[in-house]
Amino acid sequence: MRDAPFDLDRPADIASAATRAWHATYSSRFPAFLKCGHPSPERSLEKAGTPFPPESPTLGLSHLRFEAVLTAARLSGNVNDFALVAMLGLLGLRIFEACGANIGDLGEEHGHRVLRVRGKGGKVVLTPLPPAVQRAIERAVAGRPEGPILRTVRGTRMDRHAATRRLKRLAVDADVRLPRMHPHMLRHTFVTTMLDAGVDVRDVQIAARHADPRTTMRYDRARKNLDRHPNYILAAYVASGT
């Protein structure tokens, strides 16, 4: 069954109107789904008339803005900042996954440095660490043998609230002016930046651990990107006649 259009990094009491409407529609049509007798739950829901999830209400950062925040984090005097931004924006972790990561979750697999990530539903996956992310995490760990990777200035495990405060501070330092800044924006940026880089949607879906590719595309549609509009491809293809 497709992922519900719900931002897991937002409190339930501020769920968007679109989210509430989707859930209401799904609930009202669930009996029709049961009567469809189709082997595929998703296709049964489509047959029952359930609409697709709406576009993601969260927008990611542009490539340049993300680079600015990443640079501000790398230059920050707080060693956790670089690791936080790298884990969210370069690994695509959810905030609870990043904050829940421990030093003992770091390891090697087939020659790759990896992080053992505990995701939704307790599912554990191995995520490879690019060199930049390795450096960021090593700075945050600072030789400690155990404990959380991300910590607050008091030395306690970082939570989503502390992470949000750090990201807002970094956005100011990077001169990135936004109405709001929260951790899920960097996971969103992870998806849209990979799509901009030409990574196949299926590979992006796997990297983001989305059960349904439509969830991946929902992230992309929200920004109504004109840079990759197919009109440009068509015009270039027939350029000799124009």
Within 8 A by CB and 6+ apart from 50, the residues are 25, 26, 29, 33
Catalytic residue flag (residue 187): yes
From the candidates 2, 65, 151, 184, give the one annotated as an active-site residue. Answer: 184
Catalytic residue flag (residue 20): no
Q: What is the spatial distance between Cα 207 and Cα 205, in angstroms, rounded to a whole number?
A: 6
Structure tokens belonging to residue 55: 């576009």
96 neighbors 160 (Cβ within 8 angstroms): yes
From the candidates 2, 65, 94, 182, give the one annotated as an active-site residue. Answer: 94
> Phi and psi dihedrals of 53, rounded to 5?
-60, 145
From the candidates 151, 166, 188, 210, give the one annotated as an active-site residue. Answer: 210
Phi-psi region of 10 (alpha: psi -120 to 50; beta: other; left: phi over 0): beta
Catalytic residue flag (residue 123): no
From the candidates 182, 187, 188, 218, give the one annotated as an active-site residue. Answer: 187
- Residue 54's alpha-carbon distances to 50, 110, 161, 200, in angstroms, are 12, 39, 27, 22
Structure tokens belonging to residue 39: 């082997």
Catalytic residue flag (residue 120): yes
HSE-CB of 56 using CA atoms within 13 angstroms: 26
| Radius of gyration in angstroms for the set of CA atoms belonging to the chain, rounded to a whole number | 20
From the candidates 2, 26, 218, 219, give the one annotated as an active-site residue. Answer: 219
Residues in the chain: 242
Q: What's the one-letter identity of residue 182? A: H
From the candidates 20, 35, 112, 120, give the one annotated as an active-site residue. Answer: 120
Please report where in the chains the tokens 């970082």 appear, as a residue. Answer: 158
Kindly tell me the sign of the dihedral angle through the C-alpha atoms of 133, 135, 136, 138: positive
Instruction: Give the residue numbers annotated as catalytic, written as ranges.
Output: 94, 120, 184, 187, 210, 219
